Amino acid sequence: MNRELKFESPSLAERIRGMLGVDFYRLFHTPLFYIFLAIAAIIPAMVSAMTMMSGPDGTPTEPLYSNVWQIIAATEPLYVIRTIADYANMNMVFIFGGIMVSIFIGHDYKSGYVKQLFTTHAKKEDYMISKTIVSAFSMASMCISYLIGGTVGGMLSGYETSVNAGSLILAILGKMIMSLGWASLYTFLNVIFRRYFGLSIASSFFFGTGILIIGAAAIVEGLSLPASFLNIFLYGSSVNACLTSNIGTLVICLLVSLAWTLIYNALGSYILYKSDVY
């Protein structure tokens, strides 16, 4: 039986809606997202509680932070860390987030579901855009979870609570906005290492630590450029969102995050177009 066939090309919005819908359905119907939300809340709570504990001989240890909000963001932009306290703030979400994104995207390939997506979606950018958005949402949610865990843990541990509320809100918003840029980086890394689940996790962890900023900082210093030049990097802008943030910080976060998102999405789509996807 031959039937009359009509082929209507779906618009970009329709295509993205379909793929995003699947990704969000998966996100909310599997434990992975909730586990990482819990991790994002527990880690800062544990860090703040442990740093206020007494030593084995009962003597109080030197507190890691002087203020509860330093668990969320550093007092000033610290591009190259000196102590663990400089490091242990909301930026850690970008490390957990990287691992979560790798597992999330890795399961697309491990299960073979990605074949269904690429069969029905001829345009490869659909995949990059959808994964970036859902990963950014996950990391932004983890930022909120981290905020709750860190605040509750810090307060229960007895840290100071005084803060410039405006700067704190801008710092949190800045880091949440940076989730988009980080999500695009991790999606891109997972597209590169799509056949190697372990490598995609390892690479996401490596980039998430921001360790490459040390090299960039050395170059910036060598060229006698201002340290704020490091804000062009994802990690730079992420640490720039600190407790002295202003509107300018937020604008920088937005621009840097969007710019890297565009770059990584374009590169990821190019790779998917030019190479075998499964």
Partner 1 sequence: MNAIEIRNLSKSFRGMYAVDHLNMTVPQGAIYGFIGENGSGKSTTMKLICGHLVRDEGEVTLFDREHTDPGVRVRVGALIENAGCFPNSSVYQNLRMQTINLGIENYDEEIRRVLEIVRMEDNADLKFKSCSLGMKQRIGIAMALLGDPALLILDEPINGLDTDGMRIMREILLDITEKYGCTVLISSHILGELEKIATHYGIIRRGKMVMELSAEEMDSRAQVFVSLKTGDMKSALSALSEKYGTVREEDGYIRVYDVADPAEITAFLMERGQAVREIRKNKIGLEEYYIELMSKKEEE
Q: What residues make contact with partner 1 under the rule CB under 8 A?
A: 1-3, 5, 7-10, 14-15, 17-19, 21-22, 25-26, 29-30, 107, 111-123, 273-278
CB of residue 26 vs partner 1: minimum separation in angstroms? 7
Contact call for residues 156 and 101 (beta carbons, < 8 A) = no
- Report the residue count for the chain: 278
Which residue do the tokens 């329709």 mark?
14
Minimum distance of partner 1 from residue 3's CB (angstroms)? 4
- Contact predicate 40/99, CB 8 Å: no
Q: How many CA atoms lie within 13 A of 216 on its CB side?
A: 17
Q: Distance (Å, rounded) from C-alpha 30 to C-alpha 48?
A: 30
Query: Which of residues 106 and 153 has its CB atom nearest to partner 1 in the complex?
Result: 106
**Between 158 and 195, CB nearer to partner 1:** 195
- Closer CB to partner 1, residue 232 or residue 277? 277
The CB-of-18 to partner 1 minimum distance in angstroms stands at 5
CA 74 to mean position of chain CA atoms: 17
C-beta of 18 vs 63, nearer to partner 1: 18
Contact 93, 180 (CB under 8 A): no
CB of 102 to partner 1, least distance (A): 16
